Structures are given as structure tokens and as C-alpha cells.
Structure 1
Amino acid sequence: MGIFGLGFGKRAAKALATADQLAIGSPWAPESDLKPMVIAEAFGLNTDQLPLTRDAAIKIPAVSKARNLLVSTIAKFPLRAMDGDEVLDAKAQPSFLYRTDTNVTPYERMAWTVDDLIFHGYSLWRVVRGAGNSPKGGPILSAEWVPRDKWSIKPDANVGHRLYIEDEPIDDLSQVILFNSPFEGLLTIASKTLKGARDLDASWVGRARNPIPLIELHVTDDSELTTDEIREFVQAWADARRSENGAIGYTPAGLEINVHGEVHADLMVEGRNAVRTDIGSFLNIRASMLDGTMGIDSLTYSTKEGEKNAFYEFDLPFWTDPIEARLSMDDVVPRGQRVRFDKYDAYHQPLDTGVPTED
């Protein structure tokens, strides 16, 4: 049976196939831009039209801040199975929720699951099941996160599309749990913003090395320098500007220094703050949680505690709800049960696993 018939859906198959073609890889190792460049050259595309890799995006400070905030917040919440409105007894909890059979801890497993959802929009766990029919496919004995570069969906002449983990075809989807985030992934939808943020970072670093934007070494007498002499003098001046004593320079007779244009310092500050706000908007995180500023009406009063509460109430569910919903399906826990994050220690909600809802 093909990937469509097994329940991934056309959107998942199309998006994941595209991600695989663009070499969106695992967070475990640095990624190369070589493959996207080769694809761009083959199809006559501008590389600016292709999404950045995760390795490039995570180097943007605003992205790292947002990613680290979500990952560190969500991964620390224990998972709890519930039957109706009651949390199952500790002995009745599915063991895969709080332990693994590898040296990867449940915290790390959830951390990289959230990371995948942020950057790619999808994440995959591989599971081992025991004998039985409850839940559907048998009880899950263990579950492990599969790094993004270890799995892909590829076209297949016989079944349309097929899932592969380390080049091994997976036809029985009861062996995996696919998580879908509420959007297509930061690398896809925020490509333009990410590239702008990267350019802005490069700009302020360059400005720090050369605070004066443009320097012209102007000859005022009749002396004529050869091309090599000009290059040598310009390089010497550039090297001197980057030295520890770069605020002091010397020009011989017949030369004067002309400075063209200035860049106000607040331009970089405002630009970098705008990037934080934009990244927060993509990831459903308020700017104040990313150490950015936000526009507040003169009649509006906001406190740190109020912002924290709003983050837990409005921002975080955008990420936790899809994970809870997927782990509450009948192929993960028996019908009638559901899985919720235990947020009590962090937020002290009236109920440690949230408001009761119908499964």
C-alpha cells in the first residue's frame, strides 16, 4: 500500500519529498548548501529562491532564541496518559512515555521532535510494538526519534510514494508515528526573512570592523600610482583600520581621506529587533519572550508575569496541542485514553494535565 493509502496524505508526501530534494538534513551534523546549489543550477533557479538549511538558520540569534525557548519549555514537560479525566496510575502509564531503550533520554527525544517541527514542519518516531490489538497495532514498547536526514518519502512506480528510514522501505506505518506541526516549517515559509536576518547580521559585523562606511583615499597632487601601488596602499590602510589601534591612521603628503555616508547605530538595533519580532510571529511567540520590544498602547499595562501567563496560554499550545493530539490517537494509546503534557510544575494550572476534553 502506498504512502497516500497508509494515511500520510498528499500534503505530507509532497512537502517531505520536496524537503528531501532540497537536502534539509539532520540537526546532528552541519549541512551543506552544495546540493541546493546544484539543483538551482540544473533548473536555472536563483539560489535565493531556495530555503536555507537548518544549519544556516540556527546561526541567526533570533532563531536560536525562539527555538531554544520552545524546546527547553516543552521538552521538560512529562507526558501523562489519561483515561477520561483521570491520570492513569504510575504503573498503568505506557512505559515509552517516560523512558527509552536507547541512550537518548525522553527529554532529548522530545527536544529534537520539537526542533523538527519548528524547522521542517514534520517529525518522525520509530516504534517497537508488543503483541495484542490494543492500541491498534499492539502496545508500544519503545519509541525513538528518527533524525531528519535518516528518513524520506520517495516516489515509487508501484505504490506512488514510499517511506524510507536509512534506505529501508517502511510499508507498515504502525512502525512509525508521524507528527505534523500547524504550519509548513520555518525553513519553508520564512525563507525571505531568514536570509534578510543573515544579511543584517553580516552588515553589523562588517560595520563593527569598519565603523566608517566608505573611505576614499584621494590623491591631491600630480603623482601617479601604479595599480599595484594603489592596491598595496589600500590594503595597508584596511589592515590598519582592523588593528587594535585602528582609530589612528597616517596618510603621506599628496593624499587626503574622504568619508562618504554614515549609518546610524539605531538602524542596526531596530533592524535586529524587527527580525526578532518577525521570527516570533512565524513561530507564534510574543516578542517580549524573545527579549525584543513590542508596541504597547499607552492605556495598556503589561507585566512579566502576565507575559509569561499569556505565553503558556496562547503561544505554547500552538506547539503542544498537535503533539498531544497525535499521541492520543488509537494507534498510540487504547481508545478512550489520551496523552497530555504535565505542565503543573511550570505553570501551576488548576489541573496538572490541563482542562478535561473529549477524546
Structure 2
Amino acid sequence: MGIISSLRAVRALPDLVAASTPYAPQHVQVESPWTAYPSHLNQVVWPDLVGLENVLPMTRLEAMTVPAVARARKIICGAIAGMPLHVLRGDDILAPQPAWLDRTDGEVSPYHRMLWTVDDLLFWGWSLWRVTRGADGSVLAAGRVPWDRWDFDTFGRVEIDGELVADSAVCLIPGVDEGILWNGKLAIRHAARLLAAADKAAATPAAHLELHQTNEAPMTAGDRADLIAAWVAARRGENGGVAMTPSSIEVRELGAASEHLLLEGRNAAAIDIARTMGVPASALDASLENASMTYSTTESRNAELVDYGLAPYMSAISARLGMDDMVPRGQRVAFDAENFVGVGARSVAPPDDGGPAPAQAAAPAAPATPRAGAATPQTQEAAQ
């Protein structure tokens, strides 16, 4: 099931449940409207759609508590936001450049506009810009709409603050997949569980122990709880972790926290996070067991990061911004990665209509809607 089909299926579930149609599964659970994907204002857990039983929807806040996710997010979003955007005709950079490309009229800088645009695509798979146009339809200003302020209606149209907006007033940017909150929740939650296990092991100053009773004297549940509490308090006390037990209690060691769990397991989890988020494992300081010892420079590592980690997001953004409703036909938008990579001229952009504009297109084309290309639910679903 594609992203648009999933989007529409999830969006339709509340109506199905309310109408009690025979197609409504009995195990549907409607949750908080603020923890959603694909619709961030209406979350429904449907195991048949998700494909996994007992897996709750993941929030961005939960994902960002995992260090590997937080580091990968900083690398991906920070690196892309720091690269300049250029409008080109063929291989030539136009002069002057459109004002909206490196300017915002609000309180958010162009850097932060792009930073949070990539963040949207990374976590949720969609991002939205609101645009201001001139009398001829050309874009004068553009700013990102925060994720929790916009939504799709049941027809796939865009709403901002619950109000339907004109197609020409927005630029809907589709990502490369459904976002890591949707397809990366298993890897992220696995890493979170390992982190919690390591934290628990660090908080326990001794191996796993059993206080074994060696006689038949009766002990109530309260007696046992008091004994355990006193032992734990003494082991964590200021007296060097020394505790005392009565003659009827024998302390048995059941083993310490697994080194595999705390070291190898967390390293493997970081590698899975790197794979989920599309960055080299080395970028997250995770080591591959069979990794070669080939010498690499900062430039080559950055080039690898661009090619295999950043390029999908950069291409998705530049492809959408290069459509005819954002720049005139015959022009394209590309990221300039030269300073980031540091080796020669380098730009990242998908194939676009960068050739000469046809003679009849000398005047600016009428603004197209964001859904006129691959960025819309209707046309994307039809293509599927």
C-alpha cells in the first residue's frame, strides 16, 4: 500500500467507525489527535494497515530521546539547511536570484525554514510552505507552515488551522517515503529499550542478586519487601555499598548485566538507526564488524554522506521547488554542496526542465497548484 493509499485509508477510519459499517475493524483505537501519522491531527491505530500487532504510534518527541536518532537528525537537517539553493537555467546560475530563495519575511530565517522542512520530511514524509504571489503569479515570499498547523481534508486538500487554503497559496513538498515515525518505529523502539536497559544496569551498583531464605521461618510479603528495600538502600548508600543480611538469608549472585547487551547491542541498534535514516553508520560513531580500514578524508566522508544520506531529501525539495508554479518554466532549483563536500563544484538536483523555455512561455506561466505534479494526493494515487 502506497503512502497516499495509506493516508486516505487512515483518514477514512473515523468515519467508518462512526457509521459502523461492516468494513470497520473491531480493534480500531482512536488516539490523541496530536500524535499522528500520516495525519497529524487524527491518529488511528489499525494493525491491518500498520502490519504489526500491539505497536503504538510513535511521536517525534519519543524518537528524539534516542541519541542515534538525535545525532542523525542534526547531521541531515543541519547539513542540508547550510547548503545554498540556486535557480539555474541549464548549468548557469541566474542573476538575479529570486528573492524568496534566500529570504523570509517572517521571524524564521531561511536557514531555519529549510532546517525544519527537512525535519518534516525526515519524520513525517511531508512538508508545507505558504507562498505569497505577485500579480503575475510569481512567488514573492515563502515560509514553512509548522507541522501541527496543517492537515489534509478527506479529499486530500490542504487545510491550515482548520481552514481550506487555495492551491496557489501553498507549496506541498512530498518526501521520499512515509517518514521514520512510520517505517522506523521498530528500530527506534529497540534502541530505546536497550538504552533503558543500560540505564537500569548503571543505576544498579552490583550484579543481579537473590536474597535466598535458608530456613523455614515464615515471612510475610511485607517482611520480604522490607528486607529487599533495606538491602537495596544499603547497597546504594554512602557506606561503600556494604549491606548486611541475617543468618537465615543467603545472597546468591545471578549474573551481571550482559556486556553484549550494553555494548554490542547498543552499537547494533545505532547501525539500524543509521540504516533507517539513510546515513553511513560511521556518521553516528557506530562501528561495523566487517568494515574495512580504508583511509578516508573529511571530504570523502562528506561526499559519501551527500550521495547516500542527504541526496534523497535534497532532490525531493529541489524537485518540488523547481516546478513551474515556483519558478518559470525552463528553470530549475539545485542545492550547492561545494563548500560542504570541499572538492570542486558539486550540486544536487533531480532531472528538471532546465532547457530553454519555449517561445510562447516568455511571460510567466499561470500558477499551478501544488497538486499539479507529483506533490499531490490525487495525481500520486492515480499514478499508482
Same fold (TM over 0.5): yes
Residue of structure 2 in register with 1:165 after alignment:
160
Supply the distance in 1 between the matched residues of 2:311 and 2:10 (Cα, whole angstroms): 24
- 1:78 is aligned, of 74, 81, 84, to 84
Supply the distance in 2 between the matched residues of 1:201 and 1:73 (Cα, whole angstroms): 27
Residue of structure 1 in register with 2:369 after alignment:
none
Residue 60 of structure 2 corresponds to residue 54 of structure 1: yes
Supply the distance in 2 between the matched residues of 1:116 and 1:66 (Cα, whole angstroms): 14
Q: SS of the counterpart of 2:157?
A: strand
Residue 275 of structure 2 corresponds to residue 271 of structure 1: no
Query: Residue 285 of structure 1: CA displacement?
Result: 0.7
Supply the distance in 1 between the matched residues of 2:205 and 2:54 (Cα, whole angstroms): 28
Residue of structure 2 in register with 1:323 after alignment:
317
Supply the distance in 2 between the matched residues of 1:236 and 1:25 (Cα, whole angstroms): 43
**Would the aligned equivalents of 2:80 and 2:115 in 1 still touch at CA under 8 Å?**
yes
> Which aligned pairs between 1:206-245 and structure 2 lie closer than 5 A?
206-212=200-206, 214-243=208-237, 245=239
Structure 2 vs 1, CA of residues 245 and 174 (structure 1 numbering), >3 Å: closer, same or farther?
Answer: farther
Supply the distance in 2 between the matched residues of 1:190 and 1:19 (Cα, whole angstroms): 23
**Would the aligned equivalents of 2:214 and 2:248 in 1 still touch at CA under 8 Å?**
yes
Which amino acid in the other structure matches residue 99 of structure 1? R
Structure 2 vs 1, CA of residues 11 and 323 (structure 1 numbering), >3 Å: closer, same or farther?
Answer: farther
Residue of structure 2 in register with 1:124 after alignment:
128
Supply the distance in 2 between the matched residues of 1:18 and 1:280 (Cα, whole angstroms): 33
Supply the distance in 2 between the matched residues of 1:316 and 1:246 (Cα, whole angstroms): 50
Supply the distance in 2 between the matched residues of 1:71 and 1:161 (Cα, whole angstroms): 27
Supply the distance in 1 between the matched residues of 2:201 and 2:325 (Cα, whole angstroms): 55
Residue of structure 1 in register with 2:113 after alignment:
109
**Would the aligned equivalents of 1:62 and 1:279 in 2 still touch at CA under 8 Å?**
yes
Query: Residue 71 of structure 1: CA displacement?
Result: 1.0
Query: Residue 70 of structure 1: CA displacement?
Result: 0.4
Supply the distance in 2 between the matched residues of 1:245 and 1:124 (Cα, whole angstroms): 59
Supply the distance in 2 between the matched residues of 1:330 and 1:173 (Cα, whole angstroms): 14
Q: SS of the counterpart of 1:217?
A: strand
Residue of structure 2 in register with 1:150 after alignment:
149
How many matched pairs? 328
CA-to-partner distance for each residue in 1:11-52, whole Å, 9 max, x for gaps? 48538848997657599xxxxxxx96x9689xxx99842331
Query: Residue 256 of structure 1: CA displacement?
Result: 1.6
Residue of structure 2 in register with 1:341 after alignment:
335
Supply the distance in 2 between the matched residues of 1:248 and 1:357 (Cα, whole angstroms): 69
Percent identical pairs in the alignment equals 35
Query: Residue 358 of structure 1: CA displacement?
Result: 5.1
Residue of structure 2 in register with 1:253 after alignment:
247
- 1:97 is aligned, of 80, 94, 101, to 101
Query: Residue 347 of structure 1: CA displacement?
Result: 1.8
Structure 2 vs 1, CA of residues 131 and 26 (structure 1 numbering), >3 Å: closer, same or farther?
Answer: farther
Structure 2 vs 1, CA of residues 98 and 267 (structure 1 numbering), >3 Å: closer, same or farther?
Answer: same
Which amino acid in the other structure matches residue 145 of structure 1? R
Which amino acid in the other structure matches residue 294 of structure 2? Y
Supply the distance in 1 between the matched residues of 2:274 and 2:179 (Cα, whole angstroms): 13
**Would the aligned equivalents of 1:53 and 1:187 in 2 still touch at CA under 8 Å?**
yes
Give the TM-score, by structure 1 length.
0.81
Q: SS of the counterpart of 2:104?
A: coil
- 1:311 is aligned, of 302, 305, 308, to 305
**Would the aligned equivalents of 1:125 and 1:146 in 2 still touch at CA under 8 Å?**
yes
Supply the distance in 2 between the matched residues of 1:182 and 1:144 (Cα, whole angstroms): 21
Q: Which moved more, 1:260-269 or 1:181-190?
A: 260-269
Query: Residue 219 of structure 1: CA displacement?
Result: 2.0
Supply the distance in 1 between the matched residues of 2:334 and 2:35 (Cα, whole angstroms): 27
Structure 2 unmatched ranges of 5 or more: 15-29, 37-41, 354-384
**Would the aligned equivalents of 2:205 and 2:236 in 1 still touch at CA under 8 Å?**
no
Q: SS of the counterpart of 1:49?
A: coil
Which amino acid in the other structure matches residue 301 of structure 1? T
Structure 2 vs 1, CA of residues 94 and 13 (structure 1 numbering), >3 Å: closer, same or farther?
Answer: farther
Query: Residue 246 of structure 1: CA displacement?
Result: 5.9
